[in-house]
Structure 1
Amino acid sequence: MSPHAATWSSESRSRARGHWIWRVLRPNAGWICVGSALVLSILGFASIDLSVPAMATKHLVFLVIGVVVAGFVAIPNPDFYRRMAWPLAIVTLAMLVFLLIPVVPESIVRPRNGARRWISLVITDFQPSELAKIVFMLVLASTLRFRKTHRSLRGLLPTLAIALVPMGLILMEPDLGTSLLFLPTLLAMLIAAGSRYVDLLKVMLIGLILASAMLPMLRPHQKDRIMALVAQVQGDNRYENDIGYQGARSMTLVGAGGLKGHDADHASMLLRYNHLPERHNDMIFTVICTRWGVFGALATWGAYLSFMLGGFLVALRSTDPFGRLVAVGISVMLMTQMLINSGMSLGIFPITGMTLPFVSYGGSSLVVNWIMVGLLLGISCRPPRMMWRESFHFQSESNSR
């Protein structure tokens, strides 16, 4: 290579790097998601520090790791993740099956409260069901980008299997909360792909029937929690000191928070004397209501709404069908998770063991949530290359030739 060619190549790489840095740093819809996620993560740190101070520092470490990982995730072109979707799906399904093998020693698969959801990584535990949420959306988006997939009932049925297989494996752990996220996300991504409403109704009806067939897989304590919620709504307090204890304490603390909440010392005292199990994790929305009251709860919901709108803007701006679908899936899944979690604290839904995204304590959950943010940022940093947006119809035709 001549010196002039080498110099030109070096200058080209420098310009490309500079162009990429500018694309990332310039204002775009992805930064709305980043800002919302940061606000929620800081809120999570403050809430954990109030409820279980010993875990706050570790949560902060996972937050830093998550933000760094999100930065690396945003670098590759989304097409890279499309190509990796199925290999990642095979690995993830293998891990979900591995959790269910009874002969695996507890030093590797650590059961908690009767659930086998975590694989020990020595320094921390990893929850494969969290990874399954991302991989599910990547595989589904990779499949739905073709017009022939979502324009007929026959083409839509495999997408239902993509949702039900991990859903069933996760339910067997058991993890009812995470399994509930798959069907709403599937529905949202099918709508975003342009599926016909008649076919959508048929697919969702089939999905609900098959999901109902999984109900016998529910453990006795999960059925008891549903019964306790029904009894609580009806004003029956017989489960208050038993399976309904957590829900009853949560409602008491939410009511104690009032409109404006309490100062840190008073809120800490309320949490201490009204012992609430998992107050740093599944029930952390109760801590928010106790500390900052109704206004704090509304502000929290507002941050999630901002995140979802940012995700939808990313989807609207993207010219790539795969990127659009991933953005919609992430936005709807995290919003659904927030609604279910806050509904648990407010006595609207049974307590299922679901974290509040970005806020609850949990390394796997927090890092995976930030990986989703990285995906959204990476999609938003790819500017339109033409004045019109490619449709799924043309995407299908160009790939079928």
Structure 2
Amino acid sequence: MDLSFNEDDVAFQQEVREFLATSLPQDVKERADRGLHPTKEGQVRWQKILNEKGWMAPNWPVEYGGTDWTITQKYIVAHEMGSVAAPQPMAFGVSMVGPVIYTFGNQEQKDKYLPRILNSEDWWCQGYSEPGSGSDLASLQTKAVRDGDHYVVNGQKIWTSYAQHADMIFCLVRTDSSVKAQEGISFLLIDMKTPGITVKPIYGLDKENSLNEVFFEDVRVPIENRIGEENKGWTYAKFLLGNERTGIARVARSKRQIARVREIAGAEKCEEGYLLEDPDFVRKLARLEVDLMALEYTELRYLSMLSNGKKLSAEPSLLKIKGTEIQQRLTSLLVESLGMYGAPYEPERAYEGRNETPVGPDYANGPMAEHLYLRAATIYGGSNEIQRNIVSKMVLGL
């Protein structure tokens, strides 16, 4: 098993680093580095830079605008972007619905939507989760009834990330209630400007609006906006979920966070002198570094397996479990390193509106917001309890 990069990969890594150093907008980088949610304007501006470079959709086939990179090159780009706090392209368009469209959509749908995703002309959101469904996605109740050349959609979606910005939503809807739950679902592409759609904000622990409820009341959706066959949406949904859960370990981002913790702990004083000299704090930090190193080498082993043509089974679930747990421990330690300056937290909209001197140093703005938001990291993308069930079934045979 070879965990090292060859000469071509090292040269490519240097090219990526030079591009990020010269092309990543400073304001976009600073927001991501602080752990703040992206602004739509900043995210779209960065995505247009990536698209101009031809790097917007590395996982897409070349004929649709992909890069033809090797698995290792894709890993290098993701790792280097995480290392400098460069936001990944918004996943809902490029990583989720885009692959569904070019894999299962017709030519008209490919011609219409794929270029708009690459050019960031459409901001997409995901209409999967519903109240009461939880991890049992197949129990969804949003209905779509045929009426001539349209579907009439009624129901509700929840936990819809960035729906307040969205131009389009891809939705799972029930088109047949008389069959097994998984067999009566269809996959629709819906214009968010369609009459009858209402978006209501959900404010999380971080007091920010990244999540939403989306209500559908007699929303008319053209039949031509259905992907593939009617009642076959569960097949497309499972395909999409395989893309949703990639890259969730966030090793590079966590390594950058550790460096940030060290920097802050070296500046903050405590009874021992500086916090970085406190034995208890250093022990916590060292344990995190060891766990993160183990996760990184585990990820590299899986990369080596893929590069040699092997298929993964429950391995992504292991990365998700350990990656999100480390993220949460890291942000907890980051807040701890701030001491009293981590406590006076305000949501960003209130923080930006103040004209008085901020409480504490500049680096205190952001860590608490990310810490609170990432309490959900072990839930979204498939809860860690579900991931452990996958591991127990596929690896242990339980």
TM-score, normalising length from structure 2?
0.28
Q: Which has the higher strand share?
A: 2
TM-score, normalising length from structure 1?
0.28
Higher relative contact order (CA 8 A, sep 6+): 1
